[in-house]
């Protein structure tokens, strides 16, 4: 059987080559920290909930992939997968490794996906909906008594972030899985379910608990058996083995007060503290993957090989990372470590941008480079179809 995706040219993908060619230089331009001003004080690090505001590049390195239909027209890497030994909180800058010890970013580099994991958990839930196992409108307590504190909460509330639950809880501070489950189940919604949207990790942790309860299988097996293995996503998994570490992009020098744990440079294990406490398998974070594997996932969603319900799990109309594609019906998601995916169901185009923006430390990163890459893809789609096709030999 022919592979679902192949590397090809922009004309073969129906994309304007000049616009796609702008993406990589744009990423190269954000790889270096701002130059220090002579005589100026070191950058402040007052807000350690997000990290330093300056003295830090947008990312150490990135992998970008763009395509349309069955053709991947762009798949390139820039910068470094591992650049820093540590973070110096006094200067607000990373302590760089010697050049010989740095690891360059490569197209096949594996990334901690962070919240892109939510898309896989949501897709696993939608698979159970389509199989008739779950009803998104049925109260969760009808499936699992005691799963949530408010008996009105449904799966749709979880997957649309309208459950009323707060964004997160310090579950990593609790001693074991039973204590974490009890704390999650006791959490009361702030507004009642359905009243407003508040993005929350807790929603996907509860989705994980529901899936595991109704199927009797752990989340990592559900995702492997139902999504990654059938699609041939061989570089996607929770809790990657030690021999994957040389292929994985490093994340953060995780220490208090900016981090919630004192772990040093995180490299090869999940960055998210709650997922780390759950042995790396969590509904909201924990998956590791490559840009090519995510392209396989995107293609499967766009072609119907996987069920796609855009309002369940996926973000919609988010120009801050989708650029102009947000106004065309695009869907997607971002991850705290610097990952993002954008799908345009109307054209069949997809954009994957994986960056280690938290290496060597979390910071107020913004999403300008993501939005600019999406803008290039939007313009590449907007060229007259005749002119693009004329370039095909």
Q: pLDDT tens for residues 163-181?
A: 999 999 999 999 999 999 9
> Cα–Cα distance between 236 and 294 in angstroms, integer?
9
Same structural domain for residues 78 and 101? yes
Separation of first and last alpha carbons in the chain:
26
Same structural domain for residues 109 and 241? yes
Mean of the pLDDT values across residues 136-145? 98
According to the model, what pLDDT value does residue 1 have?
Answer: 53
Same structural domain for residues 218 and 128? yes
Mean of the pLDDT values across residues 272-295? 98
The answer to whether residue 158 sits within a structural domain is yes
Q: 131 exposed, middle or buried (CB, 10 Å; 0-12, 13-18, 19+)?
A: exposed
Torsion of the alpha carbons at 61, 248, 125 and 351, rounded to the nearest 10: 30
Q: Which of 179, 200, 222 is the last residue of a domain?
A: 222
The answer to whether residue 218 sits within a structural domain is yes
Of 338, 337, 323, the C-alpha closest to 382 is: 323
Q: How far is CA 25 from the centre of its chain?
A: 22
Q: 102 lies in which domain range?
A: 6-115+232-315+357-362+379-390
Helical spans, DSSP H, in the chain: 10-13, 17-20, 23-28, 117-130, 155-159, 177-186, 201-215, 219-223, 273-277, 291-303, 319-322, 368-382, 385-390
According to the model, what pLDDT value does residue 3 have?
Answer: 76
**Cβ partners under 8 Å of residue 86, min gap 6:** 94, 95, 253, 264, 265, 360
Beta bridge partners of 63: 77, 354
Q: Is the pLDDT of residue 232 over 70?
A: yes
Eight-state DSSP code of residue 260: S
Q: How many CA atoms lie within 13 A of 221 on its CB side?
A: 6
Q: Which of 171, 193, 222 is the last residue of a domain?
A: 222
> Which contacts of 221-227 are long-range, i.e. CB under 8 A and separated by 24 or more positions?
222/124, 223/120, 223/121, 223/124, 223/287, 226/123, 226/124, 226/127, 227/120, 227/123, 227/124, 227/297, 227/306
The answer to whether residue 335 sits within a structural domain is no
Same structural domain for residues 109 and 131? no
Contact 213, 144 (CB under 8 A): yes
The answer to whether residue 98 sits within a structural domain is yes
According to the model, what pLDDT value does residue 340 have?
Answer: 98
Q: Is the pLDDT of residue 50 over 50?
A: no
Same structural domain for residues 21 and 86? yes
The answer to whether residue 333 sits within a structural domain is no
56 confidence band (pLDDT: 50, 70, 90):
confident
Q: 132 exposed, middle or buried (CB, 10 Å; 0-12, 13-18, 19+)?
A: exposed
- pLDDT, the chain, mean: 92
Report the predicted TM-score, pTM, of the whole model to 2 decimal places. Answer: 0.93
According to the model, what pLDDT value does residue 92 have?
Answer: 86
According to the model, what pLDDT value does residue 136 have?
Answer: 98
36 confidence band (pLDDT: 50, 70, 90):
low
Q: Is the pLDDT of residue 41 over 60?
A: no
> Cα–Cα distance between 219 and 282 in angstroms, integer?
8
Same structural domain for residues 241 and 385? yes
Same structural domain for residues 111 and 212? no
Mean of the pLDDT values across residues 272-277? 98
According to the model, what pLDDT value does residue 53 have?
Answer: 40
Same structural domain for residues 82 and 133? no
Q: Is the pLDDT of residue 90 over 80?
A: yes
The answer to whether residue 194 sits within a structural domain is yes
> Cα–Cα distance between 142 and 133 in angstroms, integer?
12
Q: Is the pLDDT of residue 121 over 90?
A: yes
Could you tell me the two tokens for 113?
């996906």
DSSP string, 273-308: HHHHHTTT--SSS-EEE-HHHHHHHHHHHHHTSS--
According to the model, what pLDDT value does residue 375 have?
Answer: 98
Q: How many CB atoms lie within 10 A of CB 48?
A: 15
Q: Is the pLDDT of residue 364 over 90?
A: no
Domain count, the chain: 2
The answer to whether residue 10 sits within a structural domain is yes
Same structural domain for residues 111 and 127? no
Could you tell me the two tokens for 288?
């590791």
């Amino acid at each position: 059987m022919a592979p679902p995706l192949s590397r090809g040219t922009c004309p073969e993908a129906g994309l304007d080559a000049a616009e796609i060619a702008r993406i990589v230089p744009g990423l190269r331009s954000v790889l270096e920290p701002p130059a220090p001003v002579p005589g100026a004080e070191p950058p402040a690090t007052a807000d350690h909930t997000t990290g330093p505001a300056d003295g830090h590049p947008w990312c150490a390195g990135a992998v970008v992939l763009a395509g349309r239909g069955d053709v991947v027209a762009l798949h390139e890497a820039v910068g470094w997968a591992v650049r820093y030994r540590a973070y110096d909180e006094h200067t607000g800058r990373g302590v760089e490794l010697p050049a010989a010890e740095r690891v360059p970013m490569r197209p096949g580099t594996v990334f901690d996906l962070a919240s892109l994991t939510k898309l896989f958990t949501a897709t696993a839930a939608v698979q159970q909906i389509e199989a008739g196992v779950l009803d998104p409108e049925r109260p969760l307590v009808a499936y699992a008594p005691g799963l949530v504190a408010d008996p009105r909460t449904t799966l749709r509330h979880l997957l649309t972030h309208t459950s009323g639950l707060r964004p997160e809880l310090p579950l990593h501070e609790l001693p074991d899985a039973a204590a974490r489950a009890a704390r999650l189940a006791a959490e009361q919604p702030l507004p009642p379910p359905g009243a407003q949207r508040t993005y929350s990790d807790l929603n996907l942790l509860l989705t994980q608990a529901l899936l595991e309860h109704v199927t009797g299988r752990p989340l990592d097996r559900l995702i492997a058996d139902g999504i990654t293995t059938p699609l041939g996503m061989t570089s996607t998994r929770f809790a990657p083995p030690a021999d994957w570490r040389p292929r994985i992009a490093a994340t953060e020098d995780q220490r208090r007060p900016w981090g919630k744990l004192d772990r040093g440079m995180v490299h090869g294990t999940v960055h998210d503290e709650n997922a780390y406490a759950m042995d790396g398998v969590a509904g909201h974070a924990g998956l590791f993957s490559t840009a090519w594997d995510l392209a396989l996932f995107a293609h499967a969603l766009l072609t119907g090989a996987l069920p796609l319900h855009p309002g369940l799990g996926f973000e919609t109309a988010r120009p801050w990372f989708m650029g102009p594609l947000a106004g065309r019906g695009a869907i997607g998601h971002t991850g705290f470590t610097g990952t993002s995916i954008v799908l345009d169901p109307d054209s069949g185009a997809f954009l994957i941008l994986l960056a280690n923006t938290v290496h060597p430390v979390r910071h107020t990163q913004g999403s300008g480079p993501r939005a600019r890459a999406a803008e290039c893809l939007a313009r590449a789609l907007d060229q007259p179809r005749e002119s693009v096709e004329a370039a095909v030999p």
